[in-house]
């Protein structure tokens, strides 16, 4: 019964969407609120973005098209692909995400992030076309938050 309530809470959270808001005419995007939730993380999609979700086996894949500015793939599971991730070159995420571990690489053409709340929880592996210099991509990446159970719902963020 608890799993059913949790699934319903997750679905309700997904359906309560918010859209991005512009802070000023320089196209700086205000941090969006989460509107897509999984067991231990959330992220936001905005107006005009496209989202698909696939559950192949024991992991989840989200495909997000960011309103004409690139595509993102988010893997959620126990075995993220680190074969091309240079841990030494990666920078610590410098925003409050709520993740205990969060590393980011940005080569100007592709952003890659690995994050997890702890070793006990599933890992998040993000790959997005583009650069953090693009305000929309920056907002999308920084909008990925760690979540934890709180009562009958989720508490997300730092």
Boundaries of domain holding 25: 2-149
- Report the CATH number at residue 61: 3.40.1000
- Asked, for residue 59, whether it belongs to a domain, the answer is yes
- Asked, for residue 156, whether it belongs to a domain, the answer is no
- Asked, for residue 123, whether it belongs to a domain, the answer is yes
Max distance between CA atoms of the chain, in angstroms, equals 49
Alpha carbon separation from 103 to 27, 73, 111 (Å, rounded): 26, 16, 11
State pLDDT tens for residues 89-145: 899 998 888 899 999 999 999 999 999 987 777 899 999 999 999 998 999 999 999
pTM of the model: 0.76
With a cut of 60, say whether residue 12 has pLDDT above it: no
Query: What pLDDT does residue 22 have?
Result: 31
Least confident of 29-38, 68-77, 79-88, 90-99: 29-38
Query: What pLDDT does residue 76 have?
Result: 93
- Asked, for residue 157, whether it belongs to a domain, the answer is no
Number of domains, the chain? 1
- Asked, for residue 94, whether it belongs to a domain, the answer is yes
Query: What pLDDT does residue 155 have?
Result: 87
- Asked, for residue 138, whether it belongs to a domain, the answer is yes
State pLDDT tens for residues 14-39: 433 333 333 332 233 445 688 999 88
With a cut of 60, say whether residue 50 has pLDDT above it: yes
Query: What pLDDT does residue 111 have?
Result: 95
Residues 6+ apart with CB under 8 A from 103: 85, 87, 90, 91, 92, 93, 113, 114, 115
């Amino acid at each position: 019964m608890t799993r059913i309530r949790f699934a319903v809470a997750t679905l309700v959270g997904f359906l309560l969407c918010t859209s991005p808001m512009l802070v000023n005419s320089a196209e700086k995007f205000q941090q969006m609120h989460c509107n897509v939730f999984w067991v231990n993380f959330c992220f936001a999609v905005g107006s005009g973005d496209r989202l698909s979700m696939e559950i192949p086996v024991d992991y989840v894949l989200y495909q997000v098209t960011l309103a004409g500015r690139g595509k993102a793939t988010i893997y959620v599971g126990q075995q993220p692909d680190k074969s091309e991730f240079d841990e030494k070159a990666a920078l610590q995420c410098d925003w409050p995400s709520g993740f205990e571990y969060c590393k980011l690489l940005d080569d100007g053409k592709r952003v890659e992030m690995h994050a997890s709340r702890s070793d006990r929880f599933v890992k998040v592996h993000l790959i997005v076309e583009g650069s953090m210099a693009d305000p929309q991509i920056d907002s999308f990446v920084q909008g990925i938050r760690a979540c934890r159970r709180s009562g009958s719902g989720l508490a997300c963020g730092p």
